[in-house]
Amino acid sequence: MDTQGSDPTSLFSAQPGKPCRACTDFRSWMKQQGSLQGASKSGKEGEEKNSSSQNNQKDNTNASSSASGSTLNGNVKSATVDPDDTDVPLTGNAAKYGCPADSLSLGRGSWRLLHSMAAYYPEKPSADQQKDMSTFITIFSKFYPCQPCAEDFRDWMKKNTPDVSSQKGLSRWFCEAHNEVNRKLEKPLFDCSLVNERWRDGWKDGSCD
Ligand code: FAD
């Protein structure tokens, strides 16, 4: 399921009656919140947000400009900055601790973990290690917090059994799983022959050293 920019229902939400943040990218989330809250917010609050927007804007030029088009009570700027995307502090506790994951930061962080686990998986795993990895992947596919994503992942797994036989096999399998999502989201496909350079060894040109 393409969750980018979609309008996930409360069916997948952690909180009854609220949209699923982990199924929604940050900009769409802010748009949704704007349309849900816009009617009830006072003009004063809008002004406060605008003024914090201007404060943030000094440091957030890139993020803010890339966020044009998203609105929160008519504020088109810093309310749309995702600290997980930019590492740019917002204000208050968000600046200190960040905010809950959206579909993009959750996806990025998850792939980082999955590809890295595959990178460090043994070349010749024991029977127990193979069983544990299979179990991990099955459980991951049940609890991945974006439920529509998890459902598609489980469907794909029905025809593509995890290859837990070796480091190379597992890395390729995760690469193909990731490419399946890339395909769905119409993103470029990754060349899976490069997966160990990307996630284990660093690029041969030395740019990660
Ligand atoms: P990401 O796709 O997160 O990639 C991060 C980095 O991984 C890239 O910069 C690149 O260097 C590397 N990379 C890219 N492709 C590969 C590959 N094939 N193999 C190895 N490395 C690669 N989002 C949705 O909107 N809908 C979904 O249905 C959905 N399903 C998901 C299912 C799972 C199991 C997971 C973990 C995530 C899913 N996501 C889904 C999130 C989505 O895949 C992206 O993580 C998110 O859109 C952010 O994308 P990104 O462009 O920042 O880079």
Q: Residue 86, exposed/middle/buried by CB under 10 A (0-12, 13-18, 19+)?
A: middle
6 close to ligand 1 (CB < 6 Angstrom): no
Mean pLDDT to the nearest integer, 128-133: 98
pTM: 0.77
170 close to ligand 1 (CB < 6 Angstrom): no
- Measured CA to CA, the distance from residue 176 to residue 166 in angstroms comes to 15
Q: Residue 114, exposed/middle/buried by CB under 10 A (0-12, 13-18, 19+)?
A: buried
Tokens 């506790």 correspond to what residue? 93
pLDDT tens profile 92-124:
888 888 888 999 999 999 999 999 999 999 999
Q: Residue 164, exposed/middle/buried by CB under 10 A (0-12, 13-18, 19+)?
A: buried
Report whether CATH 3.40.50.10070 matches the domain 103-201.
no
* Ligand 1, atom 11, residue with closest C-alpha: 198
63 close to ligand 1 (CB < 6 Angstrom): no
Q: How confident is the model at residue 7 (pLDDT cuts 50, 70, 90)?
A: very low
Q: How far is the CA of 178 from the centre of ligand 1 (A)?
A: 6
* Residue % of the chain over a pLDDT of 90: 51
Domain with CATH 1.20.120.310 in the chain: 103-201
- Measured CA to CA, the distance from residue 46 to residue 99 in angstroms comes to 20
Q: How far is the CA of 207 from the centre of ligand 1 (A)?
A: 22
- Per the CB < 8 A criterion, the answer to whether 115 and 96 are in contact is no
pLDDT tens profile 15-51:
667 778 778 887 787 787 777 665 444 433 333 333 3
156 close to ligand 1 (CB < 6 Angstrom): no
Task: Indicate the top mutation candidate among 86, 181, 201 to test ligand 1's pocket, ranked by most ligand atoms within 8 A of CB.
Answer: 181
Helix axes 127-143, 147-159, angle to 10 degrees: 140
The pLDDT score that the predictor gives to residue 96 is 81
* Ligand 1, atom 23, residue with closest C-alpha: 3
* Ligand 1, atom 14, residue with closest C-alpha: 190
